Structure 1
């Protein structure tokens, strides 16, 4: 009887140790997963480049080594999910192919462990779209037959595009045109980081469209540009163009050649003069508090007179 009790106690201790180890592992991964979100939650628009570097450094030190050898790490389901979501956070704020490649590795491992779910495929395709890997996003529908994913529209690329120049996607009916875009080296220009589904962006566009002076300025000297995201939202762009036909709209395509702009919030107005960033204005409050600041910025770059 004593032997049985002794053996039973050993089994209990073994499982307690195993559960404690799993809990510690899960807690560590969860803590590491939360850190990128904390970094970006406390950022200022003027510090976005610095914050991206801080997040990359954290990722390389704490998460990348685990992803590089998932079989050796032998993580539980909850830890794998935290790891997967960590890559999703980083892709949202700073879309980079290296993060998507790591997300793909985690998805493959989830599939191997037979704990993969539909949302994992959805989020991977969104990551492909955010990083403009349209062939891979489309392949998930056409080759893997995941018919619940997004259909990628036809994309026509203009000739002569260079890898190191900023490019945009311009919505045209049911397809997109991929073309070059440069902020003018001479004179004033306004770049508005926006989103057709953002209520604050729509309020700003509504106010500007109804003001004769502002409408003229923005129709001639601005582009309303959506940052990379996991949804191409073609229908919403079509609706935007109907509502605000004078406000040119597009989607960022390749982000590295662009100036270091904060694309994690909308709208953000960037005012350029002779190709150089002069100042910025973040948001569009309901109370119209930014109207004076907007007019002031336009006066400063020579688009309005006092």
Structure 2
């Protein structure tokens, strides 16, 4: 069943990417590029993609495809010294939006290049400096992020955004960033044998908060899921890790970490928060998304039961 669903998603993904690409190419002027009109086309396509009920993979691919065409027509990064302040701002905003959805190194590096040119022209502001820094962190380019921070003598509100230690990983297993002693540490994650639940969440998502409060507030569910549940946040841009610290202090038995790279977590195909994945001996059996204010504990119990996690004697 899941193989067929993944095949369908790949077909849909290819369709949306091609539509985004051909819409821009066919509608754009063949003559000299006008940054403003190209940015407007990118913005329209991005808004249309966001309005659709697309998977995360489809949305990221669509926005990235639209940005790639804009980038090529604007001749980035080579044309940057020739552009005006207003044109640079439009391109910075486009790269910022693409980086927001994708956490891509390429998009973050484009933001860095454009911001560097803005600085050379004497028109870089503090908000842009912080956006470049947080985008580089989201893309896991810690070296560039640290150099950027030092260059601009930026006082970052949460210095522990940067990971300490090696980022190398030769394993085929996914990795996560955990809060350890006030710092971020990258560790490997392996699905255990038996029934197990992976919950995709975000400390700042209200629906995620409803879910963890309902689950940890239910003694039976809390006991049944002890050692059988993993809370993981998507790879994303964080202005601060305070929400993660607060969560882990409040829910000692349900700590949350962040995916180092979402692309490593191949067993997760949707990063909508919250989404619950139910595994048995490492094999995905079912999933469901969402947790309204009234809760979904009955659905949770049924899904747990199907992978051998019992909530009753």
TM-score range relative to shorter protein: 0.7 to 0.9
Partner in structure 2 of residue 272 of structure 1: 279
Report the CA distance shift for 1:218/1:38 in structure 2 as closer, same or farther (over 3 A): farther
Partner in structure 2 of residue 140 of structure 1: 148
Partner in structure 2 of residue 40 of structure 1: 50
Q: 2:259 aligns with which of 233, 246, 252?
A: 252
* Pair member with larger Rg: 1
| Residue 305 of structure 1, CA deviation | 6.0
Q: How many matched pairs? A: 281
Partner in structure 1 of residue 173 of structure 2: 165
Q: 2:109 aligns with which of 101, 104, 108?
A: 101
Maintained 8 Å contact 2:196/2:280: yes
Report the CA distance shift for 1:69/1:268 in structure 2 as closer, same or farther (over 3 A): same
Q: Deviations over 1:166-225 (max 9, x none)?
A: 1111112312222111233x4322111112222221221111011122112332111111
The whole-number CA distance in structure 1 between the counterparts of 2:60 and 2:161 is: 30
Q: 1:292 aligns with which of 272, 288, 298?
A: 298
TM-score (norm. length: structure 2): 0.77
Residue 60 of structure 2 aligns to a residue in which SS? Answer: helix
Partner in structure 1 of residue 309 of structure 2: 303
Partner in structure 2 of residue 195 of structure 1: 202
Matched, 1:80 2:96: no
Deviates further, 82-91 or 119-128: 82-91
Report the CA distance shift for 1:54/1:270 in structure 2 as closer, same or farther (over 3 A): same
Deviates further, 73-82 or 124-133: 73-82
Partner in structure 2 of residue 91 of structure 1: 99
Deviates further, 47-56 or 119-128: 47-56
Q: 1:180 aligns with which of 166, 179, 188?
A: 188
Maintained 8 Å contact 1:141/1:151: no
The whole-number CA distance in structure 1 between the counterparts of 2:56 and 2:286 is: 15
| Residue 75 of structure 1, CA deviation | 4.3
Q: 1:130 aligns with which of 123, 129, 138?
A: 138
Report the CA distance shift for 1:273/1:234 in structure 2 as closer, same or farther (over 3 A): same
The whole-number CA distance in structure 2 between the counterparts of 1:98 and 1:160 is: 19
Q: 1:31 aligns with which of 38, 41, 46?
A: 41
Segments of 5+ residues of structure 2 without an aligned counterpart are 1-30
Maintained 8 Å contact 2:35/2:74: no
TM-score (norm. length: structure 1): 0.79
Report the CA distance shift for 1:87/1:235 in structure 2 as closer, same or farther (over 3 A): same
Residue 92 of structure 2 aligns to a residue in which SS? Answer: helix
The whole-number CA distance in structure 2 between the counterparts of 1:91 and 1:141 is: 18
Coordinate RMSD, CA, aligned: 3.0
Report the CA distance shift for 1:38/1:271 in structure 2 as closer, same or farther (over 3 A): farther
